[in-house]
Amino acid sequence: MKDPFQLDERAAEAKNILNSPLFQEVIRKMREHHIARLMQAVVGSDEAKEAHAMLKVVSEFEVNFQSIMTDQKMDQYYRKAQHGTG
């Protein structure tokens, strides 16, 4: 079983990062840059494939931070269910 305090701390940090104006700006700029690259690339070209891959990487960053927050919420739910509260 994972340490609930560690999960809580990790979830709080993930939330802080996702809500950080700097993080949001960086993600937005990366997404815009790679969308522009994709729009200008020839369909099926290496440039298009690379731009698409980079967009997937940008999304993975957000998904992984959100996953940490979801893990913590699920852990809280199961802890409450085990103790008959909630």
CA-CA distance, 75 to 4, in Å (whole number)? 7
Residue 48 token pair: 């298009």
Task: Name the residue among 63, 66, 85 with its Cα closest to residue 76.
Answer: 85
- Taking only the tens place, the pLDDT of each residue in 13-70 is 999 999 999 999 999 999 999 999 999 999 999 999 999 999 999 999 999 999 999 9
**DSSP character string of 3-30:** -HHHHHHHHHHHHHHHH-HHHHHHHHHH
**CB distance 9 to 69 below 8 Å:** no
Q: Does residue 74 surpass a pLDDT of 90?
A: no
Q: What pLDDT, on the 0 to 100 scale, is given for residue 30?
A: 97
